[in-house]
Structure 1
């Protein structure tokens, strides 16, 4: 069952990434009036939680440094309702997914079956302890198969992200600490140059690095992880997949065979080439800020 959860992640993650890599979603959010990429990101992804304070979004997202969320929430919602932002995200993501797939595949019976099975899995798991997933479960499931596939894949992604947070909390690893350990695991030296860290002030990073050294999770020069840190980092995917398997019992053992036989390579699903998607997943590249003309 753990293998099934991991296999679903590998199949569905490229579908979710159109939201962050393709142009259509950014254009829809910019048309609403969001001035930067991050305004649209926070406003649309946090929208299922309702008009909550920045502290709640910070807690749910977990991996952003103190103050980063507050620069965008609640100001991004003051003139643009959360409902409008989440609808724009769905429209843009579905449009980019349809463009990438092409009309023939997007309108095929196989796509409808994929959407139906993904929705079945996405609405099967319990919501307890899954803040972002529970928020998305409150949204209506789209009728259009392409939009439904994206929506349900994104629900499962949030379910898995909530699992990441639970694993990190259980290991007493903070969000910024997780980025440091991830950078070290990737061989990025110094880890402060990592995409999710390099913009943070040195005075903010210094206590994080010192804390990891004191706990024995990194060497004094922060050049590598210590053996004590490796089990926590290596076991996070497993500890994430174990709870994620609660989404798969509703599917038959061969249900993942819905993956279109006419499109056997996952590479076609990556929005702008597999390399860009992998870098975004790792946080190694900061997304450029897009501004609306005239603002």
Structure 2
């Protein structure tokens, strides 16, 4: 059992997410385009998969879990003909730190930033790596010295640690990657055909996934959650929080509260940059 309440663990997820996902911002995409990437997704796969080295598309597909068949292979290994994993790691870190600093504004120069980056990093490098492939790849990288870059790196580690655990929770409940996106769309009150992560899939392919969920009693004929579907989603979310908790065991109750308190305004400014 964790010494921290799971509601606090979930709150950390909400706070590190906008910090880590600056890696997918326009600034970072443009930095990858300068290396010869054709589009956003080339940069996405090059940057996020780089800690895995020259892993084939099949391995990246397995680690990322929620992309449809063939999507990864459109970018991996093509991107490695334009850059190397080492260069992609450096470009991603540099671009992400610049984007985060820009979004943080005056908060980037706060005298407390070193303390909060150190607390986040302590948590981020403390968790067990077993079964956490993307997290383990990131753990093998050097921790940046500059405080904003260090904070981004810590947030990315914590995000991927949770993500690896989330994938394990999905596997344990028999939910495939595309199915997970359908369930996410429904939890957001959206039709799957409108959800940005899967709306591009062929309609027949998406319809087959929804039909499979319907056959399992998770989705009704109107394309909404059944009680069983909602309960499954809730169990997956709860298990994901439980599996994310070990990263924070190294922090005392006071330190985690301090980390949350500092991250709240930083995450708010980072998130505002998305709109």
User: SS state of the match for residue 253, structure 2?
Assistant: coil
Contact 1:18 1:271 in 2 (8 A): no
Question: Gaps (5+ residues) in structure 1?
Answer: 277-295
Deviation string, structure 1 residues 129-153 (Cα, Å, up to 9, x no partner): 1111011001111111111110011
Deviation of 1:64 (Å): 0.6
Separation of aligned partners in 2, 1:186 and 1:221: 16
- Does residue 253 (structure 1) correspond to residue 253 (structure 2)? The answer is yes
Deviation at 1:27, TM superposition (A): 2.0
Aligned CA distance change for structure 1 residues 236 and 262 (closer, same or farther; 3 Å): closer
Matches within 5 A, 1:230-241: 230-241=230-241
Cα shift at 1:232: 1.1
State the Cα distance separating 1:192 from its structure 2 match.
2.3
Give every structure 1 segment of 4 or more consecutive aligned residues whose post-TM-superposition deviation is greater than 4 Å. 258-266
SS at match of 2:228: coil
Q: Distance in 2 between matches of 1:263 and 1:210?
A: 40
Provide the C-alpha distance between the structure 2 equivalents of 1:229 and 1:252, rounded to a whole number of angstroms.
Answer: 36
Alignment of 1:131-210 (within 5 A): 131-189=133-191, 191-210=192-211
- Judging by fraction of residues, say which structure has more helix: 2
Which position in structure 1 is the counterpart of 2:30? 27
Which one of 46, 71, 75 corresponds to residue 72 of structure 1?
75
Please give the alpha-carbon distance, in whole angstroms, between the structure 2 residues aligned to 1:110 and 1:230. 41
TM-score (norm 1): 0.86
Root-mean-square deviation (Å): 1.9
1:101 deviates by: 2.0
TM-score by structure 2 length? 0.92
For structure 2, the residue ranges without an aligned partner over 5 or more in a row are: none
Asked if the contact 1:43–1:82 (Cα under 8 Å) also holds between the matched residues in 2, the reply is yes
